């Protein structure tokens, strides 16, 4: 095993990716920290009470960072690593591990940052109780709630990181097709949904039939509710399946990429 690791250059690939991805993570954390500091500093100037957002991992920032990191890692970083004759298997595995480690680290770091913000509120509450409010009971409640939700957020982060790496691989190898599909498919779906609705709605309105207008409205409400219900009931399974498929698919797409 140790011999294979040395021959495959996987440790070097992983070290390189952790360095590059680590910079993105640091920038993301600085943005989150800046927003938190600004929100803490504003109440004395605005006169409004500070609203504590709770102790949680910032999944939104991890989601956006995973998208950017996935595209950069599958593109520029992979070109750099492949240029030195590193095997595609090592590059793919190092990319995946580097991204997963980085995004999990970012989510956990934002969780710890929110813990520190909550702790800082104790001091601010003692200085200005009219603008800030934090009690041991509230802190304990938010911490317990955050820890309870953390495994789910970690799972979502891992899943979307895998999906975004595949997207980055597709974008690198089939740029025009990938962009066309990314923009065209949602747009086509919206057009296909709206055009029949608009035509039918105009025909009903022109006919001045109030009963038909009511039936048409109920009909599209039922369709919308069915879509929302399907997403609510099956989205976690769809997301997990997409992430599991993205892992080997990322390698298959990358394997056919020409050496720089």
Is residue 10 within 8 A of residue 94, CB to CB? The reply is yes
Instruction: Residue 56: name the closest of 136, 124, 152 by CA.
Output: 152
Model confidence over 129-139: pLDDT tens digits? 888 888 888 89
Span 56-82, average pLDDT: 89
163 within a domain of the structure (yes/no): yes
pLDDT for residue 206 is more than 60: no
Residue 209 has pLDDT above 70, yes or no: no
Residue 55 φ/ψ, nearest 5 degrees: -100, 110
CA dihedral 244, 247, 252, 256 (to 10 degrees): 150
**pLDDT interval class at 232 (50, 70, 90):** confident
57 backbone dihedrals φ, ψ, rounded to 5°: -75, 140
In a domain, 111, yes or no: yes
Could you give the C-alpha distances from 183 to 177, 179, 188, in angstroms and in order? 10, 6, 9
Name the domain count of the chain: 1
Block residue for tokens 């050496």: 259
* 206 inside domain: no
- Identify whether 209 is part of a domain: no
Q: Cβ(81)–Cβ(16) under 8 Å? A: yes
Residue 138 lies in a domain: yes
Q: What is the pLDDT of residue 54?
A: 84
Query: What size, in residues, is the chain?
Result: 260
Evaluate the CA torsion angle 62, 68, 71, 76 in order and state its sign.
negative
Residue range(s) defining the domain that contains residue 24? 2-173+246-255
Indicate whether 136 belongs to any domain.
yes
The yes-or-no verdict on residue 1 having pLDDT over 60 is no
- Tell me, yes or no, whether 188 lies in a domain: no
Quickly state the pLDDT bin for 152 (edges 50, 70, 90). very high
Q: The tokens of 49 are what?
A: 């009470």
Question: Does residue 82 fall inside a structural domain?
Answer: yes
Higher pLDDT, 191 or 92: 92
Q: What is the model's pLDDT at position 129?
A: 86
* Statement: residue 228 has pLDDT above 70: no
Nearest alpha-carbon partner for 28 in 118, 103, 119? 103
Across the range 38-43, mean pLDDT stands at 88
């Amino acid at each position: 095993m140790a011999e294979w690791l040395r021959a495959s250059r996987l440790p070097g690939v992983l070290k390189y990716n952790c360095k590059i991805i680590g910079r993105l993570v640091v920038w993301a954390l600085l943005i989150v920290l800046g927003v938190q500091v600004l929100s803490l500093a504003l109440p004395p100037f605005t006169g409004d009470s500070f609203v504590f957002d709770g102790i949680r991992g910032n999944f939104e920032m991890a989601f956006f960072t995973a998208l950017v990191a996935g595209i950069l890692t599958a593109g520029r970083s992979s070109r750099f690593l492949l240029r030195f004759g590193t095997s595609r298997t090592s590059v793919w595995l190092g990319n995946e591990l580097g991204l997963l480690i980085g995004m999990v680290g970012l989510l956990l770091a934002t969780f710890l940052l929110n813990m520190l913000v909550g702790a800082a509120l104790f001091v601010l509450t003692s200085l200005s109780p009219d603008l800030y409010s934090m009690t041991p009971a509230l802190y304990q409640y938010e911490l317990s709630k955050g820890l309870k939700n953390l495994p789910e957020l970690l799972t979502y982060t891992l899943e979307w990181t895998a999906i975004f790496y595949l997207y980055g691989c597709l974008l690198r190898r089939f740029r025009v097709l990938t962009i066309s599909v990314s923009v065209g498919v949602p747009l086509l779906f919206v057009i296909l949904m709206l055009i029949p609705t608009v035509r039918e709605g105009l025909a009903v309105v022109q006919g001045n039939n109030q009963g038909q207008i009511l039936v048409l409205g109920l009909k599209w409400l039922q369709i919308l509710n069915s879509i929302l219900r399907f997403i609510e009931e099956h989205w976690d399974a769809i997301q997990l399946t997409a992430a599991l498929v993205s892992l080997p698919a990322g390698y298959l797409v990358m394997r056919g990429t020409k050496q720089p």
